[in-house]
């Protein structure tokens, strides 16, 4: 450890560099506390008698040693600024998608209704309706053409991913700075990576925007060509063996044939769907705009009104599927995933191409290097879950608003079609059936995937990944890590990965489980093994009684109560998720049967009322985020179960010196429950099993919601 301790990896560094280093790290939100970064040297006072060569002054000798470090800090500051810029641009472009999607739907559906009303002979001001319809359709056509060209949901995804990758690059550089002083080659490599990222994710919109509909889909590339790394020859093995090489060659084949190729195919599929929708929307809206201006022509008869009403409805449907469904974002997501696997493949290949296995001996540093690799992976996972959470939250917002607009417009059209004096009842009837069918399909999808619940899963996962990173960083501040610490950290990562998966289908958690269990994001907690020390470890009989009382309260009151609330939210969600699509589907069938003499007014009644009820169910389910509420309660139950297991694991350890320090543990439990230590001690009275269950147990002050 002497090499790293000499750099004060786990000790506070001098104040000469703290302000600059902290500002860069805060901008990058680096989760690790890299106290071993090389010191930014103090400016050396220039000699009064500089050596002159010709007309130029030679640099002071001290400056030559400082130059690479100063350059690297300049690179880090530029990276931090780029990450902030991409985050801002991403938010701007995400706003475009939300605002334009909702506005175009409102405009197009209103224009369709106006065109239909203008065709009714008894309409008071048919010219006003006709002109308004033409204006709205023209505006919708223009906006659709722009949004189909720039694909705001795809633009937002590019910037979100760019923000993550800029932060990732900054963290990697800071980690390297914690291990050794940079060289000019390191600076050049960092700049090369910056330029590759700049090219992959440009900031300008026009000109400079990436091609949104490329002829050939290639995985996104945000890294320069990876060269085999050149290490100095050292003593001992570098960990490479024939078995490891064979293992990595097998991984290479899987990455290429399965992962990269599969995501490239999915990218092509998403691209083709997006092309079709991006073409259909403006064409349909444009046809409706032309037709609405021709309404009333005796030569054309009722055709213009029919095309205006139905064309507008189809244009709104295409717009909802394209931008509400964020198809451009999905294409970019798949393309990024393919790029991720290609980068892994190139990184493995570059190491396998390097013939020299030896490297500088790192036996003392190996556990530390592994732990920092774990920390970098944790930070990246937190960013990825934050991005996925935003994508899925967008789905909930966009689809909820779109389905309500579509369903209520369909109800209005069904009602108008039932009026005997309606000018074009067939147009209203067909439009209503189309809109109800689209609403039914979207409701079935959203009721299956529960976007508000998906978003909540990712928000909670982001918090827990960050929490794990902070906990590891705290431990690193107290002591040097061991291989056991690394294994424990990886085990916690895998448990979190299983609890909150990133993929949507397949891999998504069951949204309507038969049995509700508290969410579990931690591995089995084993009694912690601490080294025996001198003196008391802070444990006493009173502390044990206090924690046994807390255990009873946690189990009987908090965990059990939140499990009951989870079941309640789940049942409400099941009812709404079933009712919405059923009502919209019934309205779609009824609207197609309107006008049948045998059925009379019943189809019109079912269409109008069914659509209204479907919109109400949709609002309650997705506007009320009932899936999110269910996930929230389930997470709360998991929170209390984890506390319970943590207390139990310490109480099961009979040797006091092997337990976590009692005073620290007591304070930690109190803070997590939202209590003072003295309030926590009052729970000791509830340790006795002779006390009755719920009626005798106080409500825990640590209630989350």
Which of 202, 167, 218, 216 lies closest to 93, judged by CA?
Answer: 202
Q: Using 50, 70 and 90 to split pLDDT, how confident is the model at 230?
A: low
- CA–CA gap between residue 539 and residue 546 (Å, rounded): 11
pLDDT one-digit tens code per residue, 646-662: 888 888 877 777 788 88
pLDDT one-digit tens code per residue, 16-38: 344 444 444 444 443 444 444 44
Q: What's the mean per-residue pLDDT of the chain? A: 84
- CA–CA gap between residue 86 and residue 148 (Å, rounded): 22
- pLDDT for the residue 532: 45
- CA–CA gap between residue 144 and residue 283 (Å, rounded): 9
- CA–CA gap between residue 369 and residue 373 (Å, rounded): 6
- CA–CA gap between residue 374 and residue 381 (Å, rounded): 10
- pLDDT for the residue 243: 84
pLDDT above 90 covers what percent of the chain? 54
The model's pTM is 0.84
Strongest mean pLDDT among 485-489, 534-538, 691-695: 485-489
Which of 93, 123, 305 lies closest to 205, judged by CA?
Answer: 93
Q: What mean pLDDT is predicted for residues 81-109?
A: 96
**Lowest-pLDDT range, 106-120, 227-241, 606-620?**
227-241
- Whether 423 has a pLDDT exceeding 70, the answer reads no
Which residue reads 């069918």 in tokens?
Answer: 437
Which of 361, 31, 68 lies closest to 172, judged by CA?
Answer: 31
- Whether 51 has a pLDDT exceeding 70, the answer reads no
C-alpha distances in Å from residue 567, one per residue of 231, 554, 571, 574, 588: 58, 18, 6, 10, 32
- Whether 620 has a pLDDT exceeding 80, the answer reads yes
Return the structure tokens found at 345. 């493949």
Q: Sign of dihedral through CA atoms 214, 216, 217, 223?
A: negative
Which residue reads 């197009």 in tokens?
Answer: 108
Which of 183, 190, 172, 168 lies closest to 75, judged by CA?
Answer: 190
Which of 477, 538, 544, 529 lies closest to 661, judged by CA?
Answer: 538
- CA–CA gap between residue 594 and residue 334 (Å, rounded): 43
Query: Could you tell me if 455 and 635 are in contact, meaning their C-beta atoms sit under 8 angstroms apart?
Result: no
Query: Could you tell me if 222 and 326 are in contact, meaning their C-beta atoms sit under 8 angstroms apart?
Result: no
Could you tell me where the DSSP H helices lie in 180-241?
A: 184-200
The 8-class DSSP code of residue 411 comes to H
- pLDDT for the residue 653: 79
pLDDT one-digit tens code per residue, 183-203: 888 899 999 999 999 999 999
Strongest mean pLDDT among 224-228, 280-284, 357-361: 280-284
**Lowest-pLDDT range, 45-49, 501-505, 597-601?**
45-49
pLDDT one-digit tens code per residue, 672-682: 888 788 888 88
Return the structure tokens found at 181. 């002083």
- CA–CA gap between residue 624 and residue 627 (Å, rounded): 9
**Lowest-pLDDT range, 231-240, 433-442, 494-503?**
231-240
Region class of 667: left (phi > 0), else alpha (psi between -120 and 50), else beta: alpha
- Whether 526 has a pLDDT exceeding 80, the answer reads no
Q: Using 50, 70 and 90 to split pLDDT, how confident is the model at 621?
A: very high
Which of 377, 366, 370 lies closest to 31, judged by CA?
Answer: 377
Q: Using 50, 70 and 90 to split pLDDT, how confident is the model at 136?
A: very high
- pLDDT for the residue 288: 95
- pLDDT for the residue 38: 47
- pLDDT for the residue 177: 85
- pLDDT for the residue 705: 54
- CA–CA gap between residue 209 and residue 332 (Å, rounded): 13
Query: Could you tell me if 80 and 22 are in contact, meaning their C-beta atoms sit under 8 angstroms apart?
Result: no
- Whether 528 has a pLDDT exceeding 70, the answer reads no
- pLDDT for the residue 623: 96
Which of 377, 508, 530 lies closest to 455, judged by CA?
Answer: 508
- Dihedrals φ, ψ of 160, to 5°? -65, -45
Q: What mean pLDDT is predicted for residues 263-287?
A: 96
User: Between vectors from CA 160 to CA 179 and to CA 90, what angle results, nearest 5°?
Assistant: 130
- Whether 321 has a pLDDT exceeding 80, the answer reads yes
Q: Using 50, 70 and 90 to split pLDDT, how confident is the model at 351?
A: confident
Q: Using 50, 70 and 90 to split pLDDT, how confident is the model at 480?
A: confident
- pLDDT for the residue 674: 81
Other CB atoms closer than 10 Å to residue 28's CB: what's the count? 23
- pLDDT for the residue 163: 96
Q: Sign of dihedral through CA atoms 286, 292, 293, 299?
A: positive
Residue extents of the structural domains in the chain: 62-361, 541-696
- pLDDT for the residue 567: 96
Q: Sign of dihedral through CA atoms 22, 24, 30, 36?
A: negative
Strongest mean pLDDT among 156-160, 361-365, 373-377, 638-642: 156-160
pLDDT one-digit tens code per residue, 591-606: 999 988 888 889 999 9
Could you tell me where the DSSP H helices lie in 15-60?
A: 18-28
CB-based burial, 168-196: b 16+ in 10 Å, e otherwise: bbbbbbbbbbbbeebeeebbebbbebbeb
- pLDDT for the residue 27: 40
- Dihedrals φ, ψ of 144, to 5°? -65, -40
**Lowest-pLDDT range, 7-21, 142-156, 282-296, 552-566?**
7-21
- CA–CA gap between residue 702 and residue 705 (Å, rounded): 9
- Decide: helix, strand or coil at residue 47: coil
* 170 or 119, greater pLDDT: 170
Q: What mean pLDDT is predicted for residues 582-596?
A: 93
- pLDDT for the residue 240: 80
Q: What mean pLDDT is predicted for residues 70-86?
A: 94
Half-sphere exposure (Cβ direction) of 480: Cα atoms closer than 13 Å: 13
Return the structure tokens found at 120. 């009714």
Which of 344, 341, 330, 343 lies closest to 392, judged by CA?
Answer: 330
């Amino acid at each position: 450890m002497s090499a790293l301790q000499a750099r004060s990896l786990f000790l506070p560094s001098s104040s000469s560099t703290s302000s600059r280093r902290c500002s860069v790290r805060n901008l990058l939100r680096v989760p690790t506390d890299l106290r071993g970064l090389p010191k930014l040297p103090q400016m050396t006072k220039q000699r009064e008698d500089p050596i002159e060569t010709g007309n130029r002054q030679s640099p002071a000798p001290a400056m030559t040693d400082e130059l690479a470090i100063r350059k690297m800090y300049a690179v880090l500051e530029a990276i931090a600024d780029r990450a902030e810029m991409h985050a801002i641009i991403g938010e701007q472009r995400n706003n475009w998608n939300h605002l334009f999607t909702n506005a175009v739907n409102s405009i197009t559906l209103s224009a369709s209704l106006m065109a239909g009303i203008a065709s009714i002979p008894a309409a008071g001001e048919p010219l006003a309706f006709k002109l308004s319809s033409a204006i709205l359709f023209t505006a919708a056509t223009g906006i659709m053409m722009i949004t189909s060209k720039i694909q705001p949901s795809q633009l937002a995804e590019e910037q979100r991913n760019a923000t993550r990758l800029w932060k990732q690059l900054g963290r990697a550089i800071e980690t390297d700075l914690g291990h050794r002083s940079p060289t000019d080659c390191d600076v050049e490599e960092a700049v090369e990576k910056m330029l590759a990222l700049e090219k992959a994710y440009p900031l300008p919109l026009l000109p400079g925007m990436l091609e949104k509909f490329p002829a050939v889909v290639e995985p996104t590339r945000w890294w320069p060509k990876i060269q085999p790394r050149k290490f100095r020859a050292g003593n001992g093995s570098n960990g490479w063996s024939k078995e490891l090489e064979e293992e990595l060659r097998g991984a290479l084949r899987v990455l290429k044939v399965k992962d990269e190729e599969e995501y490239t195919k999915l990218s092509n599929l998403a691209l083709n769907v997006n092309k079709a929708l991006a073409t259909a929307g403006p064409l349909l809206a444009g046809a409706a705009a032309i037709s609405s201006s021709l309404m009333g022509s005796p030569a054309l008869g009722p055709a213009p009104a029919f095309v205006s009403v139905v064309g507008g409805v189809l244009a709104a449907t295409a717009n909802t599927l394209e931008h509400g469904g964020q198809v451009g974002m999905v294409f970019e997501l798949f393309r990024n995933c393919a790029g991720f696997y290609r980068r892994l493949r190139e990184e493995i290949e570059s190491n396998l191409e390097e013939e020299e296995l030896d490297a500088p001996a790192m036996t003392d540093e190996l556990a530390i290097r592994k732990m920092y690799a774990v920390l970098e992976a944790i930070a990246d996972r937190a960013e990825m879950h934050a991005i996925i959470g935003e994508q899925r939250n967008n789905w909930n917002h966009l689809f909820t608003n779109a389905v309500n607009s579509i369903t209520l417009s369909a109800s209005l059209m069904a009602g108008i079609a039932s009026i005997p004096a309606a000018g074009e009842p067939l147009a209203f009837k067909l439009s209503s059936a189309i809109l109800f069918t689209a609403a039914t399909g979207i409701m079935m999808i959203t009721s299956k995937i529960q976007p508000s619940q998906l978003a909540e899963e990712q928000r909670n996962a982001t918090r827990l990944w960050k929490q794990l990173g902070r906990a590891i960083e705290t431990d690193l501040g107290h002591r040097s890590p061991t291989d056991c610490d690394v294994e424990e950290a990886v085990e916690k990562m895998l448990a979190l990965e299983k609890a909150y998966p990133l993929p949507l289908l397949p891999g998504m958690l069951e949204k309507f489980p038969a049995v509700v269990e508290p969410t579990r994001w931690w591995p089995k907690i084993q009694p912690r093994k601490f080294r025996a020390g001198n003196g008391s470890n802070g444990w006493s009989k009173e502390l044990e009684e206090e924690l046994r009382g807390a255990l009873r309260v946690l189990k009987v009151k908090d965990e059990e109560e939140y499990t009951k609330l989870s079941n309640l939210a789940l049942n409400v969600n099941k009812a709404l998720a079933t009712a919405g699509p059923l009502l919209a589907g019934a309205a779609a069938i009824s609207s197609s049967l309107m006008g049948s003499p045998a059925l009379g007014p019943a189809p019109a009644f079912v269409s109008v009322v069914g659509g209204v009820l479907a919109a109400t169910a949709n609002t309650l389910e997705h506007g009320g985020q009932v899936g999110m509420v269910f996930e929230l309660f389930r997470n709360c139950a998991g929170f209390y179960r984890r506390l319970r297991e943590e207390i139990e694991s310490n109480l099961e350890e009979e040797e006091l010196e092997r337990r976590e320090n009692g005073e620290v543990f007591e304070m930690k439990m109190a803070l997590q429950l939202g209590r003072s230590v003295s309030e926590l001690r009052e729970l000791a009275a509830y340790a006795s099993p002779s006390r009755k269950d719920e009626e005798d147990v106080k409500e825990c002050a640590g209630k989350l919601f």
